[in-house]
Amino acid sequence: MRSVLVRYCVSVLVAAGTFAASVPQSIKETVKKIQSTNGFEPRDLFFTMEIALPKMSGDAEQCKEMAQVLKAAIAAPETTAPAKTIFHQYLLKVDAKAEAKPLGEIFASGACEKKSEEVCLKLLASAEASERLAGLIEYVGGYPKAASKACAEAVKDASWPVRATAIRCLGSLDSKALVNLLPSLSGDDRRIALEVVEEYCIHDSCATVREWAKAGNEQAARALSVIGTATDVQVLAQIPGGDKVIAQMTQKGVDAKITELLKTSARAETRVALLNASALRNSNALPEQLGVAAIDAEQTVRQAAFRLLGRQADASGYPLLVSKLGGPDTEAVENATRLMVKRLGDEPKLLDPLLKRMKEPEAVQDVVLKVLSAFTNDLALAAVVQALPRDAAVRALCDWQTGNAKGALEKIKNDAAMSSTHRTLAERALVRLESARPLPKPAGAQSELPRSENPEVRANAGAPKKILILTGMEHHNNWKQITPILVEAFAKDKRLEVSVSENPAVMSKTELLAKYDGYVMLYNNSDKKPAPEGALANLKQAVEGGKGFVLVHFSSGAFHDWTSNTGSQVFAEIAGRVWNPKCRGHDRHGTFTVNIVDKDHFITKGMSDYAQTDELYTCLDGTVPIHVVASAVSNVDQKVYPLAFVLNPGKGRTFHCALGHCPKAFNEPTLELFKRGVQWSIGMDK
C-alpha cells in the first residue's frame, strides 16, 4: 500500500513540473541518492525517474540538461557499477544518440571492478531485497552465460524490483526460459514481461500472449501485433481497440488477411473493426475492401464503409457512392457523397454521374438534389432550378452556399403560388447569404478586399462564437480539400459560426480580425508570394490581446523568411514552435502512434493513443514554453517529438497541431483534437 501511495504522489509531483524550463531540483537530488545508495534502495527513487524521464521527452532543453546531469553522475568516481549502468539506460531515454553501455561492457572496459561470482551468489542469497537486487545486476553484468538460472529463480522473489529486473534480464539472456515462465505471471510481473516480449520480439511467446489478448489485455494485444503473424488479425479484430493495434502491424499478408476476413468473419462488429484498421493503415487494398463492405448483409458494416468512402477514398470510390443513392442506406450514402464532393473539390467529373441519376424515379432524384447542394457551380444550380417547384429542389436551393443561387431564391420568396413554408425557407436562405458577405462601403469608398475574397460564412451563421479559417496558400497545396473537412468538423458544434477566408490579406485588417473570437491557420507563405505587409504584426496583436489561435500542420512555416531561410521568431511567440529547415523535416509518410501525453487536458481528456498515417514532424523549433498534450516516437531516430501542444501568448490561447499533411490524415481522433483545440482556444472549456 505504501509503495502505491508513494508512486501516486511521485507521479502527481512530477507531472506538475514536467515542462518547467529546467530539470527540477528534486530530480537532480534523486540522481545523487541513486549514486550514494548503490542504485538499489529505496526503490521509490527509481519510480521517480521512471515517471519523470518519459515526460521530459517533449522538451528538448530539459532533455539536454537531464543528459548533462546523468553524464556527470556516470563520470563521478563515487558512482557504483550498477548505478552507472542504470544511469546509462536513463541517458538513452533523453538522448538517443548517447554512447550508453551495458554493465558487461563497463566491466570489460575496466571502468568498474567486477565482483567475484562467489560474492554475487552470496548477495543473491541475502535476506535483504536490496542486496539480492545488487547481486543479480552484478551477476548478469559480470557472468551473463551463467546468470540465466539465477534470473529464472529470481522471478519468484518476494521483492518486485528483484522480479522485474530478473524478467528483463531473461529477455536478453534466455528467452526460452522466460517463455516457460510467462503463464505463471500476473499483475506487474506480466506487464514487465510483455514489455520485454515486445522489445526483444520473442516470437515463441505468441501462444501465451495470444490468450492474454483474447482475455482483453490491451498490452498483450499490442505485443501480439509485433510478435504475431497476419493470422492474428482475426484475434485482434475481436477485442476492444483492436483496429488501432492492427493498424500498426507491419507483417507480410496483413492487408490480404483483412480482405479475406471481411468476407468470412461472422460478427459484424469484427468486420467494422477490420474496416477501421485498414483505413488507419491507409492501405492500398482499402478501395477493394470498402467495395466488399458496401454490399455486406449487415447495415452497420455498410454504413461504416460509406463513411470511410466519404472521408478517405479518392475519386475512384465516387461511382460506388453515387450508385447507392436512394437505396436502403441512403442517408449514410448521401452524407458520404456530400463529404467527398467537398473534400475533392467542386469538379464537373463529380457532377456528371449525379445528373445521369436525375433521369431515374423521383425518389432517387430527391436524394440526388440534396447532394447537389454540396456543389457551387452554375451547372449544378441549373439542375436544381430545373426540378422546381418540388420540395427537395427548394430545400436544396435553400442550402446553397454561394450567391449564384440568390436570383432563384428571390423568385421563390416572391412567388405567391409557392407554399408559405417554401417562401419562408427562401427568405431565411437569402438572409444567410446576405450575412455572409461584408457590409457595403459608403459611396466613393473602395472595398478593402476584392468582394470574392472577403470571409465567407460556411456554417452556423449567427452562432454566438465566431471563428475564421485563414487559408488560400499552403505548401502541400491541399488547402482546397482540407478546408471543407475542417469546416464540417467545427460545424458540429452549433455554437460556432465558421467562416473562411482564402485571401491572406485579411490578416492585415485589424477591424476585420476583431470580429472573430479565434483563428484557424491553414496557410504558409511561399518564396514567390511573401506574407502581406503588416499581417504578422496584426495577427500577433490580436492573439496576444485575447483571441484564440489554432495552427494546422505546416502552418508552422507561415511568415518564413526565405531570404535568410529562417523561421520568424516573432511568429514563434504566438505559434510556440516554427519550421526550421536546418532540422530534419519529418519521417517518411507512414503510420505511427499518436501518444496522448496529458490525459487531463480539455483537448485530450478521455482520448486514447491512436494510429495515424501522416508526416511525423521533427522540424519544429523554438524556445517559448509550451505544454505538450500529444507526441509521437520517430521511427527514424527513436526520439519523442511534440505533435500537439498549447501555450498562452499574452491573454490569448494557442493550440498547435502538426498533424494534417493530406485529407486522409484527418481521421476521427485527429479531427477531435482540432475541434477541441478550437473550443479551448476561444474559452469554451469553461
pLDDT confidence of 6, banded at 50, 70, 90?
very low
Average pLDDT over residues 418-432: 91
H-only helix segments in 248-298: 254-264, 268-281, 286-293
Residue 346: predicted pLDDT: 63
Residue 562: predicted pLDDT: 80
Q: In the 8-state DSSP scheme, what is residue 437?
A: S
281-285, 402-406, 647-651: which has the minimum mean pLDDT? Answer: 281-285
Q: Which helix (H) or strand (E) is 641 found in, with range?
A: strand 640-647
Which cell goes with 186?
500476473
Residue 148: predicted pLDDT: 92
H-only helix segments in 436-470: none
Distance CA 637, CA 631 (A): 14
pLDDT confidence of 93, banded at 50, 70, 90?
confident
Cβ count within 10 A of residue 33: 14
340-344, 386-390, 527-531: which has the minimum mean pLDDT? Answer: 527-531
The tens digit of pLDDT for each residue in 595-628 reads 999 988 999 999 999 999 988 998 898 888 899 9
Question: Which residue, 206, 146, 201, is CA-closest to 182?
Answer: 206
What is the domain class of 233-435 according to CATH? mainly alpha
Distance CA 167, CA 181 (A): 9
Which cell goes with 354?
449525379
Residue 425: predicted pLDDT: 92
229: left (phi over 0), alpha (psi -120 to 50) or beta: beta
Residue with grid cell 541513486, as numbered in its chain: 34
The tens digit of pLDDT for each residue in 553-588 reads 989 999 988 877 788 888 999 999 998 887 877 887
Judge residue 159's burial from the number of C-beta atoms within 10 Å of its C-beta, 0-12 exposed, 13-18 middle, 19 or more buried. middle
Which cell goes with 511?
477591424
Q: Which helix (H) or strand (E) is 640 found in, with range?
A: strand 640-647
Cβ count within 10 A of residue 266: 6
What sign for the dihedral angle of Cα 537, 504, 526, 579? positive
What is the C-alpha radius of gyration for the chain, rounded to an integer number of angstroms? Answer: 30
Give the distance from CA 384 to its chain's centroid.
40
Q: Would you state the torsion angle of the CA atoms of residues 328, 331, 334, 335, taken in this order, to the nearest 10 degrees?
A: -140
Residue 38: predicted pLDDT: 53
Share above pLDDT 70 across residues of the chain, in percent, rounded to a whole number: 87
The tens digit of pLDDT for each residue in 260-309 reads 999 999 999 999 999 999 888 777 888 889 999 999 999 999 999 999 98
Residue 667: predicted pLDDT: 92
The tens digit of pLDDT for each residue in 152-190 reads 999 999 988 888 889 988 988 899 999 999 999 999 899
Q: Is the peptide bond before 42 cis (omega within 30 degrees of 0)?
A: yes
Residue 21: predicted pLDDT: 43
Residue 18: predicted pLDDT: 35
pLDDT at 659 over 70: yes
Q: Give Cα separations from 578 to 99, 338, 582 (angstroms).
A: 30, 35, 12
Q: Which CATH number fits domain 455-681: 3.40.50.300, 3.40.50.1100, 3.90.550.10, 3.40.50.880?
A: 3.40.50.880
Judge residue 42's burial from the number of C-beta atoms within 10 Å of its C-beta, 0-12 exposed, 13-18 middle, 19 or more buried. middle
Residue 51: predicted pLDDT: 67
Residue 560: predicted pLDDT: 87
- Name which residue leads in pLDDT, 23 or 446: 23
Residue 316: predicted pLDDT: 84
Average predicted confidence (pLDDT) for the chain: 84
